[in-house]
Amino acid sequence: MSPLNLKSLITPQDAHAHCDVPCGIYDPHLAQIAAHTVVRMSTLICELEKPGPDASQDEAQIYSHKIARMTAVKEHHAELAKQELRILWGDYFKPEHLDAFPNLHDTFWNAMKAASEARVHRNVDAANGLLTATLDIAEMFWQSKGVTPVRQPSRQTTGGELVYPS
């Protein structure tokens, strides 16, 4: 095989697709669950009683371990919520959706900022802001599919709601 022919076999070619997930399957449910988890972990962290000055080394280590575990879970789920929302924002929603949802970009942007704030700090308000924005996005998503969304009690320890298609 001549060098010219070999080069044509290994030269990358442009591929064109409408999104990262060509199957067309999208759902905001995982983002909602992740946001609920961020709320729960933020609340637990804020409620965790810090050992006093007379606490044993074992009590201090248990406290540190609990904080570390809850923080890791909170940060993971905040990033998971952002990832799921980015997929919806970047891959599912199209310019034509802006006519029906003029606040679409602001809602996503606020969700991303709230997720970052909740991930980095012990901020229950930011966690709740993430959840609120995520529920709003879930409603827009289902409405864009011609479905009337319904909010149902989440039945999670965080309380609140989840958005489902009716």
Domains and CATH numbers, the chain: 28-165 (1.20.120.400)
Q: Assess whether pLDDT exceeds 90 at residue 14.
A: no
User: Running DSSP on this structure, what letter comes out for residue 24?
Assistant: -
Six token digits for residue 162: 């989840």
DSSP-assigned beta bridge partners for residue 151:
163
Q: Assess whether pLDDT exceeds 50 at residue 15.
A: no
Instruction: Spell out the residues 6+ positions from residue 62 whose beta carbon is closer than 8 angstroms to its own.
Output: none
What is the pTM (predicted TM-score) of this model? Answer: 0.86
Q: Where are the alpha helices (DSSP H) in 11-151?
A: 29-47, 57-87, 97-100, 104-120, 124-144
DSSP-assigned beta bridge partners for residue 152:
162
Instruction: Spell out the residues 6+ positions from residue 46 whose beta carbon is closer than 8 angstroms to its own.
Output: 122, 124
pLDDT, tens digit, 9 for 90 and up, residues 108-139 = 999 999 999 999 999 999 999 999 999 999 99
pLDDT, tens digit, 9 for 90 and up, residues 31-76 = 999 999 999 999 999 999 999 999 999 999 999 999 999 999 999 9
Instruction: Spell out the residues 6+ positions from residue 159 whose beta carbon is closer than 8 angstroms to its own.
Output: 153
Instruction: Spell out the residues 6+ positions from residue 139 whose beta carbon is closer than 8 angstroms to its own.
Output: 149, 151, 163
pLDDT the model gives residue 13: 59
Nearest CA among 130, 166, 128 for reference residue 46: 128
Q: Using 50, 70 and 90 to split pLDDT, how confident is the model at 24? A: confident
